[in-house]
């Protein structure tokens, strides 16, 4: 007997797609042990020089010129036509992976890895021998929801929210192939929960902060795009009542500069990290988080009920607009486009704490429960269908 084989397609445009791919692999290991073999492929970067350049350009724009994402987004939408029937750039590498791994399921967690990719795997392995699925991470629909997400021949289309699912139908996705399953996050997010005294103790013992001060989290994605040095002087004005957690991602230059600033301004309590593997704990330890509209960080904040201030410095990129649209409905979150906006906001909340509590209640109203084991089970069932179609005898879970 052989294990089920699931190929996960991802790319490091931002950090969210890779985070969901890794989360899926960890859930599989927990629930199915070695009876399911998961192979995660950074398909864009590894398949061709053109794709690799596109990924690098995306991450450069995110760090240095968010407004350029609008023309970049329109350019990338052309892939919907280039990959209409088969993979364009990187086809040879993709087909080599398929032929070597022989997956029962191809699972895409990236908008640019659906169209063409599903047609090619069926052509190589036979339609009855493989299934295809997509997890779309968008919170809402509209401008910024890429047409590349939509490949109507997909066997299962997983949407984060009902709002986003309805928009997928408008773009041509058959409604009977869509399920709404919420966030696809790492098992640690669900296992490691701070509440009550544990939260206060974590602030004091792990972060070196005051357990009772209002804690602002200046976050960033893995790439490290941030505006920390513009926002820290604002927080310094509130040092008597506020403290800050700062994460710089893989941006070593930002880490060094923030650390120098922190040493020069010891009056503001500040916990600083570079690339962080415990974001879920830092989110829980904070009262509010300042972040761009990355879906992964925002999903964690929503899951734990930590209100969001959306970072709109330099403009809001198309994909972030969807996140902002979801979180600013009913004024459940705030957007700051310059340091002065944060100053005004904190001044208002300090003078009238009820304003912050009212926003927090509206934010909590957006929360919904999700169970990743459900969608993992559905994906494994798809893979088993394909294995049965191929006449393969598959291992049962041994954990």
Q: Is the pLDDT of residue 205 over 90?
A: yes
The pLDDT tens digits of the residues spanning 100-134 come to: 999 999 999 999 999 999 999 999 999 999 999 99
**Mean pLDDT within 135-145:** 93
Angle between helices 69-76 and 49-64 (to 10 degrees): 150
Q: Is the pLDDT of residue 399 over 70?
A: no
**H helix or E strand, kind and range, residue 4:** strand 4-10
Arch. (CATH architecture) of 4-182+369-389: 3-Layer(aba) Sandwich (3.40)
What is the pLDDT at residue 225?
66
Q: Which two tokens stand for residue 104?
A: 């029962």
The secondary structure of residue 206, as a DSSP letter, is I
Domain edges within the chain:
4-182+369-389, 188-364
Give CA angle at 246 (245, 249), nearest 5°. Answer: 140
What is the pLDDT at residue 224?
55
Q: Is the pLDDT of residue 74 over 90?
A: no
CB 287 within 8 A of CB 301: no
Q: How many helices (H) and strands (E) does the chain have?
A: 18, 12
- Report the alpha-carbon distance of residue 294 to residue 324 in Å, rounded: 10
**Mean pLDDT within 229-245:** 96
**Mean pLDDT within 362-386:** 94
Burial of 161: CB neighbours in 10 Å, binned 0-12, 13-18, 19+ = buried
Distance of CA 372 to the CA centre of its chain: 15
Could you tell me which residues are beta bridge partners of residue 298?
none
Closest CA to 258 of 207, 302, 219: 219
Average pLDDT, the chain: 90
The pLDDT tens digits of the residues spanning 148-169 come to: 999 999 999 999 999 999 999 9
What is the pLDDT at residue 57?
82
Could you tell me which residues are beta bridge partners of residue 286?
none
Q: What is the CA radius of gyration of the chain?
A: 22
What is the pLDDT at residue 238?
96
- Report the alpha-carbon distance of residue 283 to residue 302 in Å, rounded: 10
What is the pLDDT at residue 222?
59
Entry pTM: 0.89
Q: Which two tokens stand for residue 35?
A: 């009876």
- Report the alpha-carbon distance of residue 72 to residue 298 in Å, rounded: 23
* CATH match of 188-364 with 3.40.50.2000: yes
Could you tell me which residues are beta bridge partners of residue 200?
none
The pLDDT tens digits of the residues spanning 252-284 come to: 888 899 999 999 999 999 999 988 888 999 999
What is the pLDDT at residue 223?
61
- Ranges assigned E (strand) in 96-241: 105-108, 131-136, 156-159, 178-180, 214-218
What is the pLDDT at residue 85?
82
């Amino acid at each position: 007997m052989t294990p089920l084989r699931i190929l996960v397609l991802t790319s490091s445009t931002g950090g969210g797609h890779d985070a969901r791919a890794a989360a899926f692999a960890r859930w599989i290991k927990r629930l199915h042990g070695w009876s399911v073999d998961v192979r995660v492929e950074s398909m864009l970067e590894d398949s061709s020089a053109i794709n690799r350049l596109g990924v690098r350009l995306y991450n450069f724009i995110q760090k240095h010129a968010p407004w350029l994402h609008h023309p970049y987004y329109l350019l990338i939408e052309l892939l919907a036509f280039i990959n209409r029937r088969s993979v364009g750039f990187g086809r040879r590498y993709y087909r080599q992976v398929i032929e070597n791994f022989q997956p029962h399921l191809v699972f895409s967690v990236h908008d640019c890895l659906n169209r063409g990719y599903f047609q090619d795997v069926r052509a190589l392995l036979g339609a009855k021998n493989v299934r295809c699925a997509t997890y779309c991470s968008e919170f809402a629909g509209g401008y910024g929801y890429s047409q590349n997400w939509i490949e109507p021949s997909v066997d299962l289309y997983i949407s984060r929210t009902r709002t986003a699912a309805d928009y997928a139908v408008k773009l041509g996705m058959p409604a009977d192939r869509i399920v709404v399953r919420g966030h696809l996050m790492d098992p640690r997010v669900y296992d490691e929960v701070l509440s009550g005294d544990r939260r206060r103790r974590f602030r004091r013992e792990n972060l070196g902060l005051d357990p009772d001060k209002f804690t602002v989290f200046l976050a960033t994605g893995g790439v490290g795009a941030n505006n920390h040095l513009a926002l820290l002087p604002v927080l310094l004005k509130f040092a008597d009542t506020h403290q800050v957690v700062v994460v710089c991602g893989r941006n070593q230059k930002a880490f060094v500069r923030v650390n120098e600033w922190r040493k020069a301004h010891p009056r503001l309590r500040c916990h600083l990290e570079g690339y962080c593997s415990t974001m879920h704990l830092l989110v829980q330890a904070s009262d509010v988080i300042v972040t761009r509209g990355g879906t992964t960080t925002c999903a964690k904040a929503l899951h734990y009920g930590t209100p969001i201030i959306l970072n709109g410095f330099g403009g809001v990129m198309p994909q972030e607009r969807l996140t902002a649209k979801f979180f600013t409905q009913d004024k459940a979150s705030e957007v700051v486009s310059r340091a002065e906006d944060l100053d005004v906001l904190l001044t208002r909340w300090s003078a009238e704490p009820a304003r912050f509590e009212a926003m927090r209640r509206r934010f909590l109203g957006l929360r919904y429960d999700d169970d990743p084991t459900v969608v993992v089970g559905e994906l494994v069932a798809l893979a088993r269908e394909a294995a049965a179609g191929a006449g393969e005898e598959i291992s049962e879970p041994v954990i």
